[in-house]
Amino acid sequence: MNVTDQWPGTVRKAVLGAVVAGYGLALAAFLIPIIGGDFTIWSELPGAIVIAAVVAVPPTLAALSMRNRSLLLLPAGVLGLAGALGLLSIFGLPLVILGLIWFWAYLKVAPRGHFLRKFGMVLVPLLWLGAFVALFIHLDPQCEQRLSDGTVQQVDPVIRGFESGWAWEVDTSTFSGSGIVSADVAFEACASDTVVPWEAALSMLLSTASVAVAWLLGGTTNPEDADLSRETQPLDSAD
């Protein structure tokens, strides 16, 4: 029997609804820089993909919890609450709300015992935070001009006063800006840090690793392990 079948109906609906909302949040994290970014789509794409992937980790864990792995609601809730740190900007507050739902669901259906697994789950938020930090530990400035005829060209960011290097070694503060430069240049955008391919690859690797570690540590939960005494509902009997 799938232990999830024994979850109270309110818990199942809340978890599933929060999962859908979480993936909607990840989609927004992908589309906002693509639609509203200052740079061309191809310049914004790497950052949009990895930020969406980072945001998608908590709802993915919550979705996987419904595969006889109710323990995964714990890291899903913790990662959601981590949005309170402000790491994910405008996505932080919605993620906190979803995290509260998943954490509440965990308290309702948490399996008894499995203390080593629960303690090991600390690796999941560490990997997840690593996936986010990987995007900013090295500053990679970029300046892009859009000419009056529609041509897009790159401008050496050093000319605009930006430095490249490890975050703790660069004196310039994080900055982004845009505006009209001259009659020939219709628009120019500069940022002191953008996501480059190696950062994107490292972040995606850490995001994937956080889900994989949670899946392995989560194990499968037998019906007799589930502590459903706090809220129960009748089960349909099969003839």
- Tens of pLDDT along 20-61? 999 999 999 999 989 988 888 888 898 999 999 999 999 999
Range scoring the smallest mean pLDDT among 25-39, 127-141, 161-175, 225-239: 225-239
User: Rounded to the nearest 5 degrees, what angle is found at the Cα of 15, between the Cα atoms of 128 and 95?
Assistant: 40
Q: CA 69, CA 218: separation in Å to the nearest integer?
A: 6
153 pLDDT tier (thresholds 50, 70, 90): confident
- Cα distance between residue 67 and residue 151, in whole Å: 51
Which range among 76-85, 111-120, 180-189, 206-215 shows the weakest confidence by mean pLDDT?
180-189
Residue 230 has pLDDT above 50, yes or no: no
Residue 82 DSSP one-character state: G
> In the prediction, which pLDDT does 234 show?
42
Q: Which residue has the higher pLDDT, 221 or 171?
A: 171
Q: Is the pLDDT of residue 175 over 70?
A: no
Domain spans, the chain: 3-135+196-223, 138-191
Bridge partners of 143, per DSSP, are 155, 190
User: Which ranges in the chain belong to alpha helices (H)?
Assistant: 9-36, 41-64, 73-81, 92-109, 115-120, 123-133, 197-218
Tokens of 178: 């845009």
pLDDT at 179: 57
**pLDDT tens for each residue of 197-224:** 899 999 999 999 999 999 999 876 654 5
- For all residues of the chain together, what is the average pLDDT? 83
Percent of the residues in the chain that have a pLDDT greater than 70, as a whole number: 83
Residues 6+ apart with CB under 8 A from 22: 55, 56, 58, 59, 62, 80, 95, 98
